[in-house]
């Protein structure tokens, strides 16, 4: 049982000691601390917040609840984590791209839930590709290709898995302290030398305001420093989808386009900027300009695409692109004007309802469902030009095409375009 004084201490806004936090996490894992008791603690954290020292202690306790990945090469180990957003396929591009720059990328990713798509779901639209590998299997892939993208197995930060389930049903998912510990317990288990965070800001992301995004980024950077993991962050816009493709197979296809030196410029730009942060952090003497030049060359020369195909094969997949997607249904612009707003919630909800996303963790994904956004905020458009394309089974398209007609707001006056890169933090 949690001593009443321990919960009262947190409810009254007093910091817990590392020993007290370790007791809670260990006790929750062993069953000594019941779900309802941990729920009470989570609610207290959500209301009162946590001191930086408490967040570090919680992260460490969650890390120590499981195993760490073995280091199997002498190359620096780096990774990127995104807080998630509509159309965010950067991991599929960045991981193999970084692996062409003399670093290892042991990327542990997640599945989609709600409006935000998951990297693992996107990858699994590639025939045969396996995302659940043992430590021995993933080490073999890393030695061979310098990169893997897999899901966390049950031995990596198992306390996080149990705590997330509690957060999900108690309305405490948005706590910055709990988000920080959840992310970093898994990243520290990967034994990284550097991490870059892509913190999304806007209606299509988890953090809706700049203040929320900045608070999370600063918390991650601070706790990373205390754990001797250098972390930098880029705050990027998510008031509109990233790139044109939203879905699973369709996002893989767009990622392949970028890996081949084409594709939406905003996806390419964000990928390169995130990668540059990591190369500068782990290669002594490399300037940011040099890092950007190297990353750009490896994209344009097809080197990153070759590495992506090697990773796909090493994880059991067939590099057969483009992946098949559903039939296309076009939504056209009704009048001349400028794009004022793209309703990310409507676009994301459409994907989920058509089976391209999940309402519950056990839901199955239809990888062929997707959307293509043919416009950007601030763009001048003419009546009759395509603004959206829906890809799905034709039996379901009518209602959704009608709904999507209202997902793009037009103005009869020029609209300022939105900058993709909002802020760099380190």
Residues belonging to the active site: 81, 160, 167, 182, 186
C-alpha distances in angstroms, 256 versus 97, 144, 264, 318, 372? 12, 21, 11, 14, 15
Backbone angles phi, psi at 307, to 5 degrees: -70, -35
Nearest to 81 by CA among 286, 226, 231, 211: 231
Q: Which two tokens stand for residue 391?
A: 């890809």
State the alpha helices, DSSP H only, in 148-203: 158-170, 176-189
Rounded (to 5) percent helix, strand, coil in the chain: 45, 15, 35
Q: Within 13 Å, how many C-alpha atoms sit on residue 351's CB side?
A: 36
Instruction: Compute φ and ψ for 336, nearest 5 degrees.
Output: -70, 150
Helices and strands, counts by H and E, the chain: 16, 13
DSSP state of 352: I
- Look at residues 323, 328, 349 and name the one whose alpha carbon lies nearest to residue 124: 323
**Whole-angstrom distance, CA of residue 279 vs CA of residue 134:** 28
């Amino acid at each position: 049982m949690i001593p009443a004084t321990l919960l009262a201490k947190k409810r009254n806004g007093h910091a817990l000691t590392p020993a007290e936090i370790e007791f809670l996490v260990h006790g929750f894992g062993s069953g000594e601390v019941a779900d309802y008791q941990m729920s009470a603690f989570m609610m207290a954290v959500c209301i009162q917040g946590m001191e930086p020292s408490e967040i570090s202690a919680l992260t460490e306790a969650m890390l120590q609840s499981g195993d760490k990945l073995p280091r199997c090469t002498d190359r620096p180990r780096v990774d990127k984590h995104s807080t998630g957003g509509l159309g965010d396929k950067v991991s599929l591009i960045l991981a193999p791209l970084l692996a062409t720059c003399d670093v290892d990328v042991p990327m542990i990713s997640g599945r989609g839930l709600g409006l935000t798509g998951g990297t693992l779901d996107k990858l699994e639209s590639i025939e045969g590709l396996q995302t659940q590998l043992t430590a021995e299997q993933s080490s073999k892939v890393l030695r061979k290709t310098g990169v893997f993208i897999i899901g966390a197995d049950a031995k990596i930060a198992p306390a996080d898995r149990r705590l997330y389930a509690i957060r999900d049903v108690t309305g405490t998912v948005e706590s910055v302290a709990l988000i920080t510990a959840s992310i970093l317990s898994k990243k520290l288990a990967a034994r990284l030398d550097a991490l870059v965070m892509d913190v999304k800001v806007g209606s299509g992301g988890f953090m809706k305001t700049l203040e929320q995004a900045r608070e999370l980024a600063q918390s991650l950077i601070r706790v990373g420093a205390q754990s001797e993991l250098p972390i930098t962050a880029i705050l990027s816009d998510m008031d509109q989808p990233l790139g044109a493709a939203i879905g699973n197979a369709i996002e893989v296809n767009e990622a392949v386009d970028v890996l081949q030196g084409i594709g939406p410029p905003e996806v390419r730009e964000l990928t390169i900027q995130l990668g540059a942060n990591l190369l500068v952090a782990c290669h002594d003497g490399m300037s940011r300009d040099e890092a950007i030049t190297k990353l750009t060359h490896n994209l344009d020369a097809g080197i990153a695409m070759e590495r992506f195909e090697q990773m796909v094969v090493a994880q059991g997949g067939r590099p057969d692109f483009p992946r098949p997607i559903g039939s296309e249904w076009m939504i056209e612009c009704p009048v001349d004007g400028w794009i004022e707003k793209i309703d990310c919630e409507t676009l994301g909800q459409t994907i989920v309802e058509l089976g391209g996303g999940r309402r519950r963790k056990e839901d199955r994904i239809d990888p062929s469902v997707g959307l293509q956004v043919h416009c950007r905020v601030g763009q001048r458009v003419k009546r009759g030009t395509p603004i959206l394309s829906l890809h799905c089974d034709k039996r379901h398209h009518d209602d959704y095409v009608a709904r999507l007609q209202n997902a793009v707001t037009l103005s009869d006056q020029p609209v300022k375009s939105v900058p993709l890169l909002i802020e760099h933090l380190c």
